[in-house]
Amino acid sequence: MKKLIGQIIKFGIVGFTCFFIDYGIMIFLTEIVGINYLLSSGISFSISVFVNYILSLKFVFQPDTGRNKIVEFIIFIFMSVIGLGINQLVMWLGVDKLGINYMFVKIGATAIVMVYNFITRKLFLEKKEKSE
């Protein structure tokens, strides 16, 4: 349990770091460059996903050294595409259907995707403990 709590804390630190990357790029692209919020949110999410992948495998999860890294990355990309879909759906529902400012909706979308990311990465990317 202590290991899991430590892992959740590390994942939170990585997640908040990536959130600021995601949020900052989204606001820059929307407010300064003038890109639609859904496109800028998708671009910023995609950039933060790659940073999150590197940091998660370096600091949070114990990668399976016996697993093919290409297969591992494909699994990660597949899970990230689902996360992007969740992000975009929440953004669209919050902004277009509920009329909430995209900056606020992004915070909620990030929280939902963060939970999804932790669970799926824990299940599919972390090295499995051998039971005796």
pLDDT tens per residue, the chain (132 residues)?
Answer: 788 888 888 888 998 899 899 999 999 999 999 999 999 999 998 899 889 888 988 888 777 777 788 888 888 889 988 998 999 999 999 999 999 999 999 999 999 998 898 888 888 777 676 554
Do 96 and 37 contact (CB within 8 A), yes or no?
A: no
Do 89 and 59 contact (CB within 8 A), yes or no?
A: no
pTM for the structure as a whole: 0.76
Residue 60: the pLDDT is 82
